[in-house]
Amino acid sequence: MNRFPLLRLPYVALREVIVTIDKSDVINLALSSRKTCKLVNTTRNPVSMRKQSKEEIDGLDAVDRLNMARLESLENLGDVTKSMKIVVSKKLSLQFDFIYIPGCQTRSLCRLLSFEFRINPIGDLVSEEHRTMRFGDLKVPIIIDSKTTFRTFWKDIEFGFQFLSRHFAQEFKLDDIILDANPEEVDGSKFSRLLENAVDVVKSSSEAKRSLSVNKIELFSDVDLQNMFRNIKYEEIRSRGPLNRRLPVDCAFEAKNLVVQNSDGFTLKDLLSSKCSRVHLIGNGMTNKDMKEFLINWIDGNLETLQELAVELIEEVDIEKILAELSDRTGCNIIHYEKSKKIIRRGDGKGATVRASNANKKLFTMIR
């Protein structure tokens, strides 16, 4: 069969052809080059997220979603946020969200394109119909479960997980990369290898904002915790599950936001060594005495990174007890606004507001 040289048609004729063909074919056509992609987006059958309705995006099948994500990465105009979540748990997966938020910030004009790749052993591929899909130089067996879900099958799932993670991290020019780790019901040595590979992908994505979500932290090995927390600057760290003093020795968290639930194992020493802008510790074991020591360190010129702190203490907050004798320190001035709210002014002129929450009597906050 002779191929028709579609792209050699005159511009007006080509535009007319594009508006008559199926959306999937238009997306594939646009993938041929950046120039063709721009041309397609000038027609009445565009492929850009910016020119699709929510209903049109929601109606796309999984392959079209993947290819539209590739188109957004090809154009890379900067107004679509591209994120990948690497899920290291009993079920391995890569979850993608492409979010278009127009400059006007109008919620009704925002668009979300989501899809997921699951990594499975080849032994799970039985009698179901499957196809192959090429990723780089590899052809991989897949089954498409839904409009948003691909299942991929590998003889070595550790290799498959690492390969796809790196492949998409490079292809999509990610803005955000999230590591979501949970060792529950996973063989310890296998989990450690998977986690190490995932951390390497996160580290290598230097242009992306990096975030970490930790579940069941009490089940992590010391080596795993060090791999996750040492020498990586995160946008956000979230930890769920009791810490049980499982943090690495001299662990210095480095993130804009740190949120720890069941944070009893997060000590004053951990707080003083952290390099976070905002810290929220829920269910903590620290006391009013610890908050006094924290403020002494801040007054003395330490903790310059910290902008906001919220700690749920083991006891009710006593602001007077915490601030007692602090005004005796050189250059420190305490301004009393009300019983539960005070302003501390350091000798260098920098100030912070400390208060006890009315809603939660154990919650101590400091905002600079």
Interval 139-172: pLDDT, tens: 999 999 999 999 999 999 999 999 999 999 999 9
Helix (H) or strand (E) holding 338: strand 333-338
- Spatial CB neighbours of 280, under 8 Å, sequence gap ≥ 6: 257, 258, 259, 260, 309, 310, 311
In a domain, 5, yes or no: no
Contact 238, 214 (CB under 8 A): yes
Lowest mean pLDDT among 176-180, 235-239, 300-304, 315-319: 300-304
Angstrom distance (rounded) from CA 36 to CA 19 = 14
Residue recorded with tokens 């006007």: 104
> What is the structure's pLDDT at 364?
96
pLDDT cut 70: percent of the chain above it: 90
Is 4 a residue whose pLDDT tops 60? no
Angstrom distance (rounded) from CA 269 to CA 317 = 20
Highest mean pLDDT: which of 115-119, 206-210, 301-305? 115-119
In a domain, 24, yes or no: no
Is 318 a residue whose pLDDT tops 60? yes
> What is the structure's pLDDT at 357?
87
Per DSSP, 6 falls in state G
Q: Which residue type, as a one-letter code, is found at position 287?
A: T
> What is the structure's pLDDT at 22?
85
In a domain, 278, yes or no: yes
Is 2 a residue whose pLDDT tops 70? no
In a domain, 246, yes or no: yes
Contact 257, 235 (CB under 8 A): yes
Lowest mean pLDDT among 18-22, 163-167, 227-231, 312-316: 18-22
In a domain, 127, yes or no: yes
DSSP characters over 156-212: SHHHHHHHHHHHHHHHTT-SEEEEEE--TTS-HHHHHHHHHHHHHHHHH-TTSEEEE
| Comparison of pLDDT for 67 and 327, the residue scoring more | 67
Is 96 a residue whose pLDDT tops 80? yes
Is 208 a residue whose pLDDT tops 90? yes
Is 237 a residue whose pLDDT tops 60? yes
Query: How much is the mean pLDDT over the chain?
Result: 88
Q: Give the mean model confidence (pLDDT) for residues 246-268.
A: 81
Residue recorded with tokens 């780790």: 181
The dihedral built from the CA positions of residue 186, 187, 190 and 193, taken in this order, carries a sign that is positive
Residue-number span of the structural domain to which 283 is assigned: 71-367
In a domain, 97, yes or no: yes
Q: How many domains does the chain have?
A: 1
In a domain, 31, yes or no: no
Is 108 a residue whose pLDDT tops 80? no
> What is the structure's pLDDT at 246?
63
CA distances from 317 to 262, 295, 298 (A): 18, 14, 19
In a domain, 46, yes or no: no
Angstrom distance (rounded) from CA 136 to CA 159 = 14
> What is the structure's pLDDT at 107?
66
> What is the structure's pLDDT at 249?
59
Is 1 a residue whose pLDDT tops 60? no
